[in-house]
A and B are shown apart, each in its own frame.
Chain A
């Protein structure tokens, strides 16, 4: 029996450039193929070509077969009949792929209705069944809602419902969990896997995340710049990769613990004590304290909305704190930007997540780096040029890039320049806000290495903000876990490695996919004990906590438990927590 999906010598060109260059693969019925690659690898382009769709006027050539149908030979009417009925698509960002003006139900049932596969009532009944199968809350009524009333994880599952409602032969999932927090990702992946299997569809899973792919795929195709690098069974590609590029990807996916520990000073350089902050009347940080020595690294972890970026903004003075103090080498910094001396500004530098927006697009690399040199150190002319060259060398970029406009750089180069601009100030504290999140894994790993190295060479204290617990664990001397604006756990590296954690930290750790098949099935998604209960003074994590104690956690604020290099806010005793996270 021939394969269910067969692609032969697929070529997609746009503007004379090949985005996809001679890719071939086959998928057996009911199997899942993963397309793996970094941005620009052509993985999404290939996925869309299976539906006969291309963006930006690209042209598709080559053979695309689905069952007995040659998709590449279909006309517009044929494609219209195919899409949503035999092949369905789950987009990366459900938030923008849903029409904001129509109810969920209208959109989910639409494929059935336009293909005349069911009447309105039957379609809605099927939708509700799917909502239930995808473990969505209140499946009976969720359809009456509008997209903006639902969370990202819910929308992503609803998008899966919309794709599966016609029981398609082939489902294409395009980075469906990339925009989600890890804790949500696990639930969504589980739901997807069950739902796809129950429909019996063949699937293509597009992703850059090897560990996620390990959970979903039967076979893997590794892409780089539109070409196939390696293709094979998932097990083989993940555990015995034959291609160099695949090995690089694998290497970057597992952060190495750093080679030599940094020389850490004894005295606290940066001290944050009892800091509160709010946007308008909405409190975003509550009672945060930390202290950081010269050359030390503090990792701040938390999911979106935890207040981790706000912490950096408060330290930098961009958001004035409402209470508490921030001091640098014993000298208290003014609350906001006003009143800070140029010297105080110089000593604390901020590096942003998105280098595309962090660099002024009208400037050259040289101009971007020269400004802090002139501003803080009064360097001009030849002296400034020499310093720019030195900085470029420091971040391993060729000196001739100085005359290049920042827009002409690649993502990784931009992030290096972004970093160099902060270093130009010769800072004592570097605040790095998700500096690798917008980058491809390999590029991001290189930036991490660079930061770590510079920090050790220059003795800069670093606050490293990230949503990725494994990166933080590998790179940082101290860890601060934020949830809902509260520091639920704070530990030094050694104590953090011992395995006694706040239940939220445990949840985060458990949610990070591992690179082995079967992890997803074993991953615990424990229900919250006291969902729906919350209060201003109570534990912030209470509504999601799987080990909450009724009558205690919902009655009194959590006490501070501290032990050897560790402090956390929980009603459970430290030794009880040890047993729980095992």
Chain B
């Protein structure tokens, strides 16, 4: 725990804020339903779109449900789908990138050309086409958002890997007779872990935004499930009243993504000033 404390201390203020926000949402995703005052579908308010009150700390929604409880339940879809898809995207992207960088030659050409093609389809458009074709169950959403961001991770990871591969110690390993797997996993990968972690964070942010966007359009997480984006969508009619039911979930997403972004930025090696 002391290592964690010293790590947190080493961050600049913005990084500490980011870290707290990320940890907060992680905790909410894990234990949210357990601490929620009401059930996720319980109609507890006579009124709809109630303002903030002691009974409903974040107001009530278009059906008179407790917004706080809905948020606490919904966060897990956003956080876990986002993290899962980001992990999947990075695993696929980095594996392909290492293969391309270490094998080189036509393998690299083919993979890079394919990824260049996919990256030329703007991510939201790509996701929309896939949703239209395959639908949007939770498993499909996870896969679709992951695939959407594979090319981005591939591009970063390949650039990193190609850089490392050009270094002499990789040449030495090859001249030693080491196989491709050893070179990729033992010589190259350990030297790209830090930037890869940062990229994972970035993919997470992108995927959370994409997922929320899809849900907001009604193309993402489908009822009976509801992630934070769905909460914004279902309460759109409250916009003209300025109901907290629409602003709060949107703010929740923003705090998560901004927090993650601040944290990633703070982890970057200090830029030399001159």
Direct chain A–B contact by Cβ atoms under 8 Å: yes
Best-buried of A348, A358, A360, A425 by chain B (most CB within 10 Å): A360
Q: Is B268 an interface residue (CB 8 A)?
A: no
Distance to closest chain A CB from B187 (angstroms): 6
From 343 to 393 in chain A, residues with beta carbon under 8 angstroms from any chain B beta carbon are 344-346, 348-350, 352-354, 357-362, 371-372, 375
Give how many A residues have a beta carbon under 8 Å from the other chain's beta carbons.
Answer: 29
B273 close to A421 (CB less than 8 A): no
Chain A, residues 424-450, CB within 8 Å of chain B (1/0): the string is: 010000000000000000000000000
B272 close to A375 (CB less than 8 A): no
A362 close to B191 (CB less than 8 A): yes
Q: Is A337 an interface residue (CB 8 A)?
A: yes
Distance to closest chain A CB from B166 (angstroms): 9
Partner of A318, one of B169, B175, B178: B175
In angstroms, Cα B123 to Cα A480, docked, is 58
Distance to closest chain B CB from A350 (angstroms): 5
A358 close to B169 (CB less than 8 A): yes
In angstroms, Cα B175 to Cα A340, docked, is 10
A361 close to B175 (CB less than 8 A): no
Q: Is A90 an interface residue (CB 8 A)?
A: no
Which residue of the partner chain A has the closest CB to B164? A360
Best-buried of B167, B176, B187, B273 by chain A (most CB within 10 Å): B176
Q: Is B5 an interface residue (CB 8 A)?
A: no
Q: Is A281 an interface residue (CB 8 A)?
A: no
From 220 to 274 in chain B, residues with beta carbon under 8 angstroms from any chain A beta carbon are 272-274
B175 close to A350 (CB less than 8 A): yes
Partner of A360, one of B177, B191, B274: B191
Distance to closest chain A CB from B243 (angstroms): 52
In angstroms, Cα B267 to Cα A433, docked, is 38
A360 close to B187 (CB less than 8 A): yes
In angstroms, Cα B69 to Cα A79, docked, is 65
Chain A, residues 321-357, CB within 8 Å of chain B (1/0): the string is: 0000000000000000100101011101110111001
In angstroms, Cα B169 to Cα A318, docked, is 13
Interface residues on B, range: 10 to 19
A357 close to B175 (CB less than 8 A): no
Q: Is A57 an interface residue (CB 8 A)?
A: yes
Which residue of the partner chain B has the closest CB to A362? B190
Could you say which residues of chain B place their CB within 8 Å of the CB of A105? Answer: none
Distance to closest chain B CB from A262 (angstroms): 25
Could you say which residues of chain A place their CB within 8 Å of the CB of B178? Answer: 375
Given contacts A337-B177, A345-B177, A360-B187, contact A57 B169 (CB under 8 A): no
Could you say which residues of chain B place their CB within 8 Å of the CB of A346? Answer: 177
Distance to closest chain A CB from B247 (angstroms): 45
B177 close to A342 (CB less than 8 A): yes
Distance to closest chain B CB from A367 (angstroms): 10
In angstroms, Cα B125 to Cα A207, docked, is 59
Could you say which residues of chain B place their CB within 8 Å of the CB of A421? Answer: 172
Partner of B168, one of A56, A340, A352, A425: A352
Could you say which residues of chain A place their CB within 8 Å of the CB of B272? Answer: 56
Given contacts A55-B274, A360-B187, contact A317 B168 (CB under 8 A): no
Q: Is A171 an interface residue (CB 8 A)?
A: no
Could you say which residues of chain A place their CB within 8 Å of the CB of B187? Answer: 360
Q: Is A316 an interface residue (CB 8 A)?
A: yes
In angstroms, Cα B169 to Cα A354, docked, is 10
Partner of A359, one of B169, B174, B176, B274: B169
B191 close to A361 (CB less than 8 A): yes
Given contacts A55-B274, A56-B272, A57-B274, contact A357 B168 (CB under 8 A): yes
A350 close to B172 (CB less than 8 A): yes
Chain B, residues 152-186, CB within 8 Å of chain A (1/0): the string is: 00000000000000011101101111100000000
Distance to closest chain A CB from B232 (angstroms): 44
9 other contacts beyond A354-B168, A362-B190, A372-B176, with CB at 8 A cut-off?
Answer: A317-B175, A318-B175, A344-B177, A345-B175, A346-B177, A349-B175, A357-B167, A359-B169, A371-B176
Pull 26 A–B residue pairs with CB atoms less than 8 Å apart, ordered by A.
A56-B272, A56-B274, A57-B273, A317-B175, A318-B174, A337-B174, A337-B177, A340-B177, A342-B177, A345-B175, A345-B176, A345-B177, A350-B171, A352-B168, A352-B172, A353-B168, A357-B167, A357-B168, A357-B169, A358-B172, A360-B169, A360-B187, A360-B191, A372-B176, A375-B178, A421-B172
Q: Interface on B for A, CB 8 Å cutoff?
A: 167-169, 171-172, 174-178, 187, 190-191, 272-274
Q: Interface on A for B, CB 8 Å cutoff?
A: 55-57, 316-318, 337, 340, 342, 344-346, 348-350, 352-354, 357-362, 371-372, 375, 421, 425
6 tightest A-B CB contacts, nearest first: A345-B177, A358-B168, A362-B190, A352-B168, A357-B168, A360-B169
